[in-house]
Structure 1
Amino acid sequence: MPLTDGPGADGARGPLKLSDVAQVLGTSVAAGAPTPAPPGTPVTGVTLDSRRVRPGDLYAALPGANVHGARFAAQAAASGAVAALTDPAGADLVAAAGLPALVVDDPRAVLGDLAARIHGRPGDVLTTVGVTGTNGKTTTAYLVESLLRSAGWTTGLLGTVETRIAGERVDSVRTTPEAPDLHALLARMVAAGVRGCALEVSSHALVQHRVDGLVLDVALFTNLSQDHLDFHGSMEEYFAAKASLFTPAHARRGVVWVEEDGAPDASWGRRLARRASVPVVTVGAGDADWRVTDVRTGRAGSTFHLSGTLPGGPVELDLTCPLPGDFNVANAALAAVAVLHLGPAPAVVAAGLAAAEGVPGRMQTVVRDGAPLVVVDYAHTPDALDRVLRTLRGITPGRLVAVFGAGGDRDRGKRPLMGAAVAALADVAVVTDDNPRSEDAAAVRAAVLAGARSGPAEVLEVADRAAALDAALARCRGAGDTVLLAGKGHETGQEAAGVVTPFDDRAAAAHALQRWARTHTHEDTRGAAGAARGGRP
């Protein structure tokens, strides 16, 4: 919820004082013992993690899934926190730690706007483009950032794979950072001279108020299909979370992909366009404000025609996208329309798209002369697997083999649907472990296998992921075959029973191809060892 203005709330006037924070929250400072911080104490940062508190920070002591953050208030105080923001359940714990307490009923609901104020509202300085949807968020955000950079902008990127600030890479922990981290990163971007930032916005982030305090210049919607129902409960609730981005509290305008009538999950985009309470333009291959026509796809990517209208008049563009797949045509068209509405010339956008690079772990190929093509992709939903396999089927003259699994502690309902999607399109479906997390790995595989055995594909179960890849390659005959290694993409570890073991699908694929080559005499021994190439199968 928005906070009321108070003295010193404008970041340009210097740091907020503790009394200012209390005023904008509509509460008072409950004194800690034995020496409460004076009301004029400056608040220079905010964090949810007691281990990351720095002197001058406000510690947000929120209730967690297993333990209340207020239990770590003493650690925060020892590190220099000036006060703690908490709820009534945490108030006594904060007081016992000797920290002044700012107590509100729902601290998470006010944290985003408060973090924005503490950091001087950096989102108001930047031009921001946010991308939401089940699939395609990462690729679309990458494309937006790439197009802005090609237009001469200094850019930032926030997402699943990485965070970049004016070319400097910062590791990402989650798709959308917690609100204090988000606004701190945006402030770093402002300090680094960034003009435009592209970011992924997950449904979890919207429900948990992680993007509160940021009003996007443009919000993009890619698609909606089953995922995260363990968190949202139903597709309607999942849709409502996504739709909340297209309101004045979060965005100034929207760009929405609409599927053609009759396509799976076709209604969500059109429903969103009708429901949005900010101006929206639609993009699609059918009835849309911006139309995508004359699509031609191949191994090297796609070409398509994009037509629509800007305030200055009609636009007609022939575009080249170096990322393969019809789904990447949709991602590219969304990115292009968003950037066109921000001012770069159509010719600049066209040139920038043609020069765009692949995204790590998204349709990333691992190749070896004379060997099957291995494609590493993050696809981990039924719809994403369907889209990727349809693309690969169109460019694979031989056998198509898929290696995949489902994540533990996540939406259980999608597991048999994932199996069915693969078995309907691949010649061989190899079910293996993804990230079992705290669940029994065999039980997760069993749920996937239940769906896979409903289709015509040969079905194998191989628990070990590296061995599963070997089994997949053993079903291949040569260079005309393709193996999809799906689910983990850019990830560099596999989580099981609370332990993360180093594992990179791309490196595993290169090693598996080396092993395959030793047993196949038609291998060109002069060929180089397997190498990853982003986005160009």
Structure 2
Amino acid sequence: MQLLQDILKDVTVLESHGPLDVQVESITFDSRQVQQGVLFVAMRGVQVDGHDFMAKAAEAKAVAIVCEELPAELASGVTYIKVKNSGQALGLMASAFYGHPSRKLKLVGVTGTNGKTTSVTLLHKLFRELGYHVGMISTVQNQIDEEVIPSTHTTPDAVSLNALLDKMVKAGCAYAFMEVSSHAMVQQRVAGITFAGGVFTNITHDHLDYHGTFDEYIKAKKSFFDILPAGAFALINADDKRGPVMVQNTKAEVRYFSLRKVTDFKARLIDNTLQGLHLEIDGHEIWAKLIGAFNAYNLLGAYGVAVLLEEDPMEALTVLSSLNTAAGRFDYIVSETEQITGIVDYAHTPDALENVLNTIQQIRTPLQKVITVVGCGGNRDAGKRPVMADIACRLSDKVILTSDNPRFEEPQAILEDMQKGVKPLDFKKTLSVLDRREAIRTACMLAGKGDIILVAGKGHETYQEIKGVKYPFDDKQVLQEALQQLGK
């Protein structure tokens, strides 16, 4: 419980009506959660405008309402606060309400199109092994040490985020590592959060359904580094041409990592096999369990963070060499009888799919066929659908186009978009199987001894979203069952 005037200390208030010395028991932007003593923030969303629910919040006895536009009639007994941006105000108020938890530990944010989840997972595991209490906020799950807290968004809303950070502080966490999405930056979900450092992995075609243009997407990612304070670090992938753009206006201390250039943190890929990576990092050779050149970047980035947080370089490398990847990231199984390798990966962007397939091409033998099962999500960037189908055809011997999370779109319409990317020369090696389970089974039936099957797009997800309902579906489990059936 906090006084409203204390929660508003960092917020620029344009107008206020009513007392500020009232007690606030909790903050919400969901009018359904309003009850006596609750502060309601009217947010303008993509589909719903919270301003339409201010009267409902007042009826439910909200102690105060924060909004960008005051209602025509002010309800008695409610304090109204007018601000320029409700999203920013929510972040600043949530941080103050929970006592600024991000200032009480070292919080490092990771942003980029690909590699965020693997990077924060590696950092969480690394610092746990180094003996610290550590928090993690990721697409797959949130964690406080070994306690798993289900995740609903890549970056939680401002209230949930501060509540989670507060819980981490109370659990004694010295460090926390979190994914920072472009949506979160646009929606001001990290307003009021203090970061000790930030990492940029890469940027490629994604989320244009939300941002509209690639330039807007880049601006959203860059805005994370704009808010880093002096004294924080910004660790940038120098091999991405937009890396320097990210830190044009940052106050943070800029450091770079690379596999191709001489930078602050340098790695050389010696060997890449299904057994792992052989790397030279800052002059020291290590074997790592992770697979693929893209994971060499993730490992190098995690190493750079550890050094910038003043950990011993050799100890960090020793621990990193023993770590596994995040769930659904180049997650593979091998069938006992046919020795078919099945790989499940979250690759749901053109760049991620190309990275995974290029990795498979590098580690395959000349006799191994590559069979790819891939779909695209509904109500998302439709422009990448034909591109992903083309990449799959170019880098696979056989391609099965299928359903992903169709959401509120018709799966057949999504498949037709993907089919536009299939060149006439690739027609013979491409199948379309609408049912994802059947598509995975078909891939297994088409595979010969020693072949490689990639199931791309959903990774760690354990559901398939259709018409607003999430049905149980686990790519790895379905793949495992289908491979087991081959041996019977």
Letter in 2 for 1:410: R
Is 1:319 matched up with 2:306?
no
Which residue of 106, 117, 125 corresponds with 1:127? 106
SS of the residue aligned with 1:225?
coil
User: 2 CA distance for matches of 1:121 and 1:113?
Assistant: 9
Q: Indicate if the aligned counterparts of 1:362 and 1:378 stay in contact, CA closer than 8 A.
A: yes
Which residue of 260, 282, 307 corresponds with 1:286? 260
Q: Partners in 1 of 2:222 and 2:407 — Cα distance? A: 30
Aligned runs of 1:49-448 on 2, under 5 Å? Answer: 49-53=30-34, 56-73=37-54, 76=57, 81-88=62-69, 91-92=71-72, 95-96=74-75, 99-249=78-228, 252-259=232-239, 266-273=240-247, 276-287=250-261, 288-307=263-282, 316-371=283-338, 372-397=340-365, 398-448=368-418
SS at match of 2:420: helix
Instruction: Classify the secondary structure of the residue corresponding to 1:422.
Output: helix
Q: 1:30 aligns with which of 6, 11, 17?
A: 17
Distance 1:55 1:319, change over 3 A: farther
CA positional deviation for 1:128 = 0.9
Residue 79 of structure 1 deviates from its aligned partner by 6.7
Q: Deviation of residue 366 (structure 1)?
A: 3.0
Among 17, 27, 34, the alignment partner of 1:46 is 27
Q: How many Å separate the matches in 1 of 2:330 and 2:76?
A: 50
Query: How many Å separate the matches in 1 of 2:146 and 2:33?
Result: 25
In structure 2, the residue matched to 1:510 is 480
C-alpha contact (below 8 Å) 1:70/1:86 kept by paired residues:
yes
Please state if 1:466 is matched with 2:446.
no
SS at match of 1:226: coil
Post-superposition shift, 1:103?
2.1
**TM-score, reference length from structure 1:** 0.84
Structure 1 residue 81 displacement after superposition: 4.0
Q: Write the deviation string for residues 68-93 of structure 1: whole angstroms up to 9, x where unpaired.
A: 2244456656777422222216x358
Q: Describe the shift of the 1:74–1:172 C-alpha distance in structure 2 as closer, same or farther (beyond 3 A).
A: farther
Deviation at residue 427 of structure 1 after TM alignment: 0.5
SS in 2 for 1:432: strand
Pick which of 378-387 and 342-351 moved more: 342-351
How far 1:161 moved relative to its partner?
0.3
Q: Give the C-alpha shift of residue 350 in structure 1.
A: 1.4
1:17 corresponding residue in structure 2: 3
- 1:202 is displaced (CA, Å) by 0.6
The AA in structure 2 aligned to 1:177 is P
| CA distances 1:32-70 after superposition (whole Å, capped 9, x unpaired) | xxxxxx532222432223344576432222123333224
Aligned residue for 1:358, secondary structure, equals coil
Question: C-alpha separation between the residues in 2 aligned to 1:88 and 1:273?
Answer: 34
Q: Report deviation, 1:290.
A: 1.7
TM (normalized to structure 2)? 0.92
Moved more, 141-150 or 154-163: 141-150
Single out whichever of 339-348 and 452-461 deviates more from structure 2: 452-461
- The Cα shift of 1:160 comes to 0.2
Q: Could you tell me which amino acid in structure 2 is paired with residue 296 of structure 1?
A: D
Give the CA deviation at 1:286: 2.0
Q: What's 1:488 paired with?
A: 458
Which residue of the partner structure matches residue 526 of structure 1? none
Amino acid of the residue matched to residue 400 of structure 1?
V
Deviation at 1:126, TM superposition (A): 0.8
Q: Secondary structure at the match of 1:343?
A: coil
Q: Which amino acid aligns with 1:40?
A: D
Q: Look up the equivalent residue of 2:475 and give its one-letter code.
A: D
Question: What is the CA distance between 1:162 and its match in structure 2?
Answer: 0.3
Are 2:457 and 1:476 equivalent residues in the alignment?
no
Q: Distance in 1 between matches of 2:451 and 2:69?
A: 61
* Structure 1 residues not aligned, in runs of 5+: 1-14, 32-37, 260-265, 308-315, 519-537
Q: Counterparts of 2:395 and 2:409 in 1: how far apart (Å)?
A: 28
Instruction: Provide the C-alpha distance between the structure 1 equivalents of 2:114 and 2:180, rounded to a whole number of angstroms.
Output: 12
**Distance in structure 2 (CA, Å) of the matches to 1:455 and 1:291:** 41
Q: How many Å separate the matches in 1 of 2:58 and 2:344? A: 45
Please state whether the residue corresponding to 2:421 is helix, strand or coil. Answer: helix
Computed over aligned residues only, the root mean square deviation of the Cα atoms, in angstroms, reads: 2.2
For structure 2, the 5+ residue unaligned runs are: none
Residue 271 of structure 1 aligns to a residue whose secondary structure is helix
2:285, 2:37 → 1: CA distance?
53
Amino acid paired to 1:338: V
Q: Tell me if structure 2 keeps the 8 A contact 1:123–1:214.
A: yes
What's the offset of the Cα at 1:455? Answer: 6.1
| 1:440 Cα deviation from its structure 2 partner | 1.9
Whole-angstrom distance in 1 between the partners of 2:264 and 2:10: 41
SS in 2 for 1:186: helix
Which whole-Å CA distance do the structure 2 matches of 1:406 and 1:169 have between them?
Answer: 29
Q: What amino acid is the match of 2:42?
A: A
CA distance in 1: counterparts of 2:214 and 2:405, whole angstroms: 24
Q: Alignment length, in residue pairs?
A: 481
Q: Is the 8 A contact 1:470 1:516 kept in 2?
A: no
SS at match of 1:439: coil
Q: Which amino acid aligns with 1:465?
A: R
Q: Is the 8 A contact 1:160 1:175 kept in 2?
A: yes
- The answer (yes or no) to whether the contact 1:404–1:431 under 8 Å persists in 2 is yes
Identity score, percent: 35
SS of the residue corresponding to residue 291 of structure 1 reads strand
